Structure 1
Amino acid sequence: MGIFDKFKKGLEKARNTFFGSIKTIFAGKTLDDETLEELEEILVMSDMGVEVTQKILKELKEFYKKSDDSDPLILLRDIMEENLTNEPINLNPTKKPYVILVVGVNGNGKTTTIAKLANQYIKNGKSVVLAAGDTFRAAAIEQLKHWGEKIGAEVIAHEHGSDAAAVAFDAVKHAKAKGKDVVLIDTAGRLHNKSNLMEELKKIKRVVQKELPEGIDETLLILDGTTGQNGIVQAKAFKETVDITGIVITKLDGTAKGGIAFAIDHDLNIPIRMIGVGEKEDDLQPFVPHEYCDALLGLEE
């Protein structure tokens, strides 16, 4: 199944609940105030956010006036696409080891996302080391070990409650010594105790730099797509703590509100690198705005 088909299947709920009705309101109508009002309601209800919605509607109105016989649905798709950043994750890094720090609130699918991402690197012929840095939860360590065995990635783990930075250091040192390609570092997600989390993440970054002067290459924030605007609140808290370079939105197959991707891109100014559109290992996909918008609106490639 290609990336568009994955998006189409994974975003079915969002398309059927909100975005699919856009085709209906455009059918046989001109882009008048009534139509724009209906469209505004759909986009805001999809969790796109008021600012982004108004920006898209303004651009749609302007372009529609300038162009003759334009299909408003295609125009809308093009404008929606332009309001998303297209910077997919680097799945073929040349630097060794390529180090990715993964952060996010527990329950957002962080550990599972790490495993799925590791699996993609392995499929691309890369050797992967997983660092079980969520030492706060014994279950997270065991879960990562299980995934490591399943997909063929090495797992570096210490005892429950040990220093997360020491785990990260050992994983990077091991990868460097053994010539491994990629290191993925799991972390705890205890936002209720933000000062401790901040210090832990800073320490992880410091110890990685001791072993690799260029430091961490990518810091991914995992957000649960079903949490809607709450996800943006979480993201802002993490952004204050650590320099996030990319976002992964998980569980988009479980939400009717696919507009959250636009709000995240607009409010945080951080590119969405990947999205999760299902539970299978290959349901974590690089984020491609064109395919995403087509799948939401029910357009074919």
Structure 2
Amino acid sequence: MTAPPDAAWLPAATRALGARPAVLGRTPLTGGYVAASVERLDLDVDGRVVPVVLKTASAVEVAALRAVHVVRADPAVLAAGDGWVLVPFVDGTPPAEHEPVPDAVWATLAQVHAHWWRKRPRGVPVVDAAFWRGLCDRTLVAVRGAAARTGDPIYGEVAAALDAWRADPRIGAALARLPRTLVHGDAHRGNVLGTALIDWGNARVAPAAVDVVTLGGDPPQAYTEVLDARVPAAARAPAEVERAWAQVHVHVTYLGFAADHLGAARVTEMAGNAERALATL
């Protein structure tokens, strides 16, 4: 998919920016997996240079960005249309493995989670039993493909486990207990630039621990203080249940990528982690 034509986004950008911008430069951006086309645009807006990012986007990403925009003071999305979004350009690099995720990112997640607690933004899918089965089925395609490609029997074993997990009653029982909120759904370090969490194309309505587990395990005070102040303890599920469910969900989410790119050893490790988490439910 190519970038949307200027005629598609310029009118909306004009309304958002208060003046009709002129495009001074375009730079293709790479590194992500969600969007088919992403480019930085340097816009002249009444003599000011305003860097933005124009990207192809699913309806889910557009809906999620609008839902985030409800929470944040700074704009999460400048303009959006059929199949595209225009967002502020963030100049930064992801934190290294030994570096902490900035508190501002955790605070933003907490604000989003707290605001949308037990609510569903329109247009964002809900993680329910059907969603879970679909996730397992999509992951199975990648794992079975790796089995056919490599002949390694471990992929067949993992595929058999996934086939069993897709209808495992422990998953359904946990989902019945766990409150949901808007989650990023892909909150790994590669999607952290400076103090921003980018690329909301995998957003979903799910237990908040999905993002917490993906981003790095135990959340810092910057997250817990916001959530504790805005979400009563009585409205939450037992932390150990939510965390165990999230561990299963996150590992199954990324097993397909691991099967395509990371090899049998990593797939085995992730499947084992998912199995151990499932055993605690």
Structure (1/2) with the larger helix percentage:
1
TM-score (normalised: structure 1): 0.23
Q: Greater relative contact order (Cα 8 A, min sep 6): structure 1 or 2?
A: 1
TM-score (normalised: structure 2): 0.24
